Amino acid sequence: MKKTILALLMTALLGICTSAFAIDRNSEIAIMDFGTRPGATEAEISLNNAEYVTSEYIIDRLVDDKCFLVKEKDFVMGQVNDASISTVGIIDPDTAKKIGALLNVKYILCGNITNVSLSEAGGSLGGAGLTKNTVQAHIIGRVMDTDTGNILYMTKGTGKSASTYTKVKGVVGGTIRFGTVQVTQDSVHNAIQKAAYAMVDELNKKLN
């Protein structure tokens, strides 16, 4: 009888301690390719392969932080592609269930690159000037329960990458230039990487 009471007491305590929104950090999770919105970028910015890269950065951070047991991405994509399941960007509950059953994962993380923008701030004094190009990336990720189709968490991350272009008027005429006026692919990827990391950090905070 004592053992029964002890077991019941433990069950009660476990139930009380379990939050309705609690999720197990040690569960397996599959990270999907992120989607991009049609108006997510400006003409100067090329989002080449950003969908794939974003999920790679997210996996990188999740593994580093020992947050979830992340399924190997290539294995995941191979399996879902073989099953002809569309997984880019937004995922509906039925698809989530299919993915959960196929990969035997409790959760999936998917989302969108909401916006990647370029802003220019600069100053000039006479012929000399400094221009700072800042690429900012915003992504929103969703952790979804594959059993129920419910969204458990949504987090967003923002990342910035700045490059500077300096123009100085020479004393004897002519102009000396430093940096680049163009937005490089490196800047875009840096911004996306920071945004992905920030998103995972935010998720980690919520899970703790």
Partner 1 sequence: MKKVAILLAALAASSVMSASVGFAETPTCVMMKFTDDTRFDKVDSAGMLSDLVMEKLVNTGKLNFRGTKVINQDIEKMLYNERAAELRNARRAISWGDYNTLFEGPGFKENMAQSMATATVGQIVDPNLTAPIGRNNSAEYLIQGTICNIGTGQWMNTDINSAVGYANMAASTLGMAGVSSFLGPVGPLLSGLQNKKTSIGVQSELRLIKAATGEVVWYKKCTSKVESDHFTVDGAGGLLGLGGLEGLVAANIPASWGDDKLSSELLYKVLDKASQEISDAIVADVDAGKLFLK
Give contact residues for partner 1 (rule: CB under 8 A): 1, 4-5, 8-9, 11-16, 18-21, 37-42, 90-93, 96, 110-112, 114-115, 117-126, 136, 138, 140, 142, 144, 148-151, 153-156
Q: Which is nearer to partner 1, 146 or 193 (CB)?
A: 146
Three-state secondary structure call for residue 28:
strand
Residue type, 182: Q
Q: Find the shortest distance in angstroms from Cβ 5 to partner 1.
A: 6
Residue 44 C-alpha from the chain's centroid: 22
Q: Which is nearer to partner 1, 23 or 64 (CB)?
A: 23
Q: Find the shortest distance in angstroms from Cβ 21 to partner 1.
A: 7
Q: Find the shortest distance in angstroms from Cβ 163 to partner 1.
A: 15
Q: Which is nearer to partner 1, 27 or 119 (CB)?
A: 119
Q: What tokens appear for 102 in the block?
A: 């196929």
Q: Find the shortest distance in angstroms from Cβ 162 to partner 1.
A: 13
Q: What tokens appear for 18 in the block?
A: 């379990």
Distance CA 103, CA 13 (A): 32
Q: Which is nearer to partner 1, 16 or 74 (CB)?
A: 16
Distance CA 44, CA 183 (A): 7
- Roughly what angle, to the nearest 10 degrees, separates helices 50-64 and 73-82? 130
Distance CA 86, CA 64 (A): 28
Q: What tokens appear for 173 in the block?
A: 């005429």
Q: Which is nearer to partner 1, 42 or 64 (CB)?
A: 42
Q: Find the shortest distance in angstroms from Cβ 1 to partner 1.
A: 6
Beta bridge partners of 134: 119, 162
